[in-house]
Structure 1
Amino acid sequence: MTDSTPHQLLGLYDSPFVRRVAVTMKVYGIAFEHVSLSVFRHMDAMRPLNPLFKVPMLTLPSGEKLYESAYLLDYLDELAAERGLSPLTPRSGAERRQVQQLMALAIVATEKAVAIAYEHKRPAELHWADWTSRLRNQMRQAFTMLEERLDGNFLVGGRLTQADITTVAGIGFVRYILPHEWPAGAYPALERLADRLEASAAFTAVPLDE
């Protein structure tokens, strides 16, 4: 890749971690090429690009490769600030801590949902009901805590932050992959947030089924 080449994002959008990075890039107006490969279904194609089989992976115009969505988001915030944009995660202060703590809750919910999805992929005779129940309770507790913190249109400061994007990416995963794990009406404020953001340009440009 050269400096004139756009960023390249590797991974499917049904991963909430890939999707939150892609949505963030859309919000910031950072051009990128999406390489839509699955770490399960496209292993032969994935191996030469990413032998770790870890997504998302972001290749910078310089050719440098970044792993782990949290670090990708930090890089994108720096890039946005250089372009005169307000970072989705504030760079310092109390609001930064608020956003990070709510992101942490969203990540707990999302990681537990992903673990439930993996558990469902195991043969029926190997399902561990107690483990799945524990994961479900942790996921629901995290969503409940987010529901309690949402007062208004956004989670922090009356504006879109990474806490909102990460939360909605996680909710999107649950509603798309595990719809039975999202009880109707259980989280009305989060549902309103998710429905509104899913209808926004940044989210519609990053469809879950791509």
Structure 2
Amino acid sequence: MATKEEDVKLLGFWASPFSRRVEIALKFKGVSYEYLEQDIFNKSALLLELNPVFKMVPVLVHKGKILAESLLILEYIDQTWKNNPILPQDPYEKAMARLWAKFVDEQVGPVCFKSVVKADKGIDVAIEEAQELITFLEKELSGKDFFGGKTIGFLDMVAGSMIPFCVARAWEGMGIDMIPEEKFPELNRWIKNLNDIEIVRECIPQREKQIEHMMKVAERIKLA
């Protein structure tokens, strides 16, 4: 059952995959919420008040309770609203979903993006290193419509917000097809399945706007 809008607030940023995955989860659960767009380069007093430790989005506020960090928020949403489970019910499958989510956020996202942007060892080596990581996810998807099985779940929300609609668009802006269909047929089929879901499409940033943003982020990384 959806909660009242005034009970749930989400502080996010339109281009953040971490914000987008939380929005997908809330929509998947049918939870009404108030979305508060933030400027992550000029952080608001509200964001700093609600998340003084990390000073980042997303931040979920539910009935006065404040929660940061997207993976924790996804689990909180799943445990609070029991309909349409996000995490697998089997303990082993649940642990594996968490493991792969950690892999996406700590390896695939930052390593692939930064290696291609900086390309210290050359662009061909950077692409090879990035695709080597992505190959693990290609194998994990074999024979499945989604990581979660027949419908989207925890890992689909995590990987789906990060890989096709964030990192891949950064590569695309540099003229690189990092996930060619002939090399990654399972991932490309999965991306098409994600695009067929209305609530996912509602949370995907506009392509050209996202590419422009990722190019600006890339420039900051190069200068770092």
TM-score normalized with structure 1 length: 0.77
1:65 partnered with 2:44: no
Counterpart selection for 2:85 from 84, 87, 95: 87
Q: Distance in 2 between matches of 1:94 and 1:44?
A: 40
Match of 2:102 in 1: 104
CA contact under 8 A between 1:11 and 1:57: conserved in structure 2? yes
Q: Distance in 2 between matches of 1:9 and 1:131?
A: 40
CA contact under 8 A between 2:13 and 2:19: conserved in structure 1? yes
Deviation at 1:90, TM superposition (A): 2.4
CA contact under 8 A between 1:95 and 1:157: conserved in structure 2? no
TM-score normalized with structure 2 length: 0.73
Q: Which residue identity does 2:184 align to in structure 1?
A: Y
Give structure 2 stretches of 5+ with no counterpart: 210-224
1:190 partnered with 2:181: no
Identity percentage over the alignment? 22
Q: Which residue identity does 2:195 align to in structure 1?
A: E
1:177 partnered with 2:170: yes
Q: 1:114 to 1:90 in 2, by over 3 A?
A: same
Deviation at 1:137, TM superposition (A): 5.3
Counterpart selection for 2:160 from 168, 171, 186: 168
| CA displacement 1:76-128 (0-9 Å, x = unmatched) | 011122xxx142112442221232233233322123245458xx5xxxxxx57
CA contact under 8 A between 1:8 and 1:59: conserved in structure 2? yes
Q: Distance in 1 between matches of 2:122 and 2:55?
A: 26
Counterpart selection for 1:153 from 145, 169, 175: 145
Q: Secondary structure at the match of 2:135?
A: helix
Q: RMSD between aligned alpha carbons?
A: 2.9
Q: Secondary structure at the match of 1:129?
A: coil
Give structure 1 stretches of 5+ with no counterpart: 121-126
Q: How does 1:2-151 map to 2 (within 5 A)?
A: 5-40=6-41, 42-44=42-44, 46-47=47-48, 50-51=51-52, 52-60=54-62, 62-81=63-82, 85-107=83-105, 108-113=107-112, 115=114, 120=117, 129-130=120-121, 139-150=130-141, 151=143
CA contact under 8 A between 1:12 and 1:18: conserved in structure 2? yes
Q: Distance in 2 between matches of 1:128 and 1:192?
A: 28
Match of 1:123 in 2: none
Match of 2:200 in 1: 203
Q: Distance in 1 between matches of 2:6 and 2:123?
A: 44
Q: Which stretch shows the higher mean deviation, 96-105 or 8-17?
A: 96-105
Q: Which residue identity does 1:149 align to in structure 2?
A: E
Q: Distance in 1 between matches of 2:147 and 2:5?
A: 36
Q: 1:44 to 1:66 in 2, by over 3 A?
A: closer
Q: Distance in 2 between matches of 1:43 and 1:131?
A: 35
Q: Which stretch shows the higher mean deviation, 10-19 or 66-75?
A: 10-19
Q: Report how many aligned residue pairs link the two structures.
A: 195
